[in-house]
Amino acid sequence: MREIKPGPALAQIVRLYRIIDFEFTHNNPIPPKAYTPRPEQCLQFFPTPTIIEYANKSKSIKPKNALLIGQHTIVNNRTVYKKFLSLQIVFQPGALYRLFGFSLNEITDQLIDAADIFGGAIEHINDQLYHAQDHLEMIRIAERFVAKLANGITNKALPIDLVAQQMLDASQPLDRYVSSAFLSHRQFDRQFIERMGIAPKEYLRVVRFDQAYRMKSRYPEMNWFNIAIACGYYDYQHLSKEYKAFTGYTPSVFFAMDSPERLLGTEEVY
């Protein structure tokens, strides 16, 4: 797993590129990946097969080439095979709204076939990614694609977009973020939902949950109480309540679940 920053010309559009490149050399069963809510909207290419399932839906999703992934507040389970390769283009907060102009709450907790949005070029790009010589070539392919998108951008960035980026560390109370955007609470809520897909309070909940999830992965010896305090929760009970809301499990039970990364001797710490 690698996370790579975009070039300066695209930094206002792309937050990062995430490459997931797994290859299992044994025939042991590969556990599904419980893909947690995280504060991001992305375009994900799938050069190799995967299956995505939601607990509350009977139909599984088998991406053909790529998916446009809206802001999620629920877990989805992803089944991978012996060889798994994927590239995510994680957009800056507000960038998808600026690119396309539709309200992002239309794709909250949704996976959209990217060809429905971007057209037939998606299949060609996915094929290029599959045949790329290395990860850096994959990034160059993605950068060329995003550069073409950025050339057609019509909606200018607003202060709320910068504030949404600042909210990724969840270090301030909501009132301060609202003041920084020079908006009333009502205006801030409306524009935030339109540009990010969920309300600002919910967004901060996702940010803190994601911080706790990754901190535990990075420091497995750290106890949950200290993680709760470090990530801005009142106490362990507060963290546990949020874990159950987002995953359906307590922190300890959810963390104990197997994953492809753990099978390979690593963890998701980015």
Q: Mean pLDDT for each 10-residue chunk of the chain (270 residues)? A: 93 95 86 93 96 88 96 95 95 94 94 94 96 96 95 86 95 94 96 97 97 93 96 96 96 89 67
CB 256 within 8 A of CB 34: no
Query: Which pLDDT score, from 0 to 100, does residue 156 have?
Result: 85
Query: Which pLDDT score, from 0 to 100, does residue 56 have?
Result: 80
- Chain centroid offset of residue 14 CA: 12
CB 52 within 8 A of CB 60: yes
Residues in Cβ contact with 186 at an 8 Å cutoff, skipping those fewer than 6 apart: none
Q: What are φ and ψ of residue 90, in 5° steps? A: -90, 120
CB 152 within 8 A of CB 69: no
- Angstrom distance (rounded) from CA 212 to CA 225: 11
What long-range pairs does 246-255 form, CB within 8 A, spacing at least 24?
A: 246/36, 246/37, 246/73, 246/74, 246/75, 246/206, 246/209, 247/34, 247/36, 247/75, 248/55, 248/75, 251/212, 251/216, 251/224, 252/224, 254/34, 255/216, 255/220
Query: Which pLDDT score, from 0 to 100, does residue 269 have?
Result: 57
Q: What are φ and ψ of residue 173, in 5° steps? A: -70, 155
Tokens read off for 163: 């504030």
Tokens read off for 190: 């409306």
Return the CATH fold of 2-151: Jelly Rolls (2.60.120)
33: enclosing H helix or E strand: strand 33-35
- Angstrom distance (rounded) from CA 97 to CA 5: 21
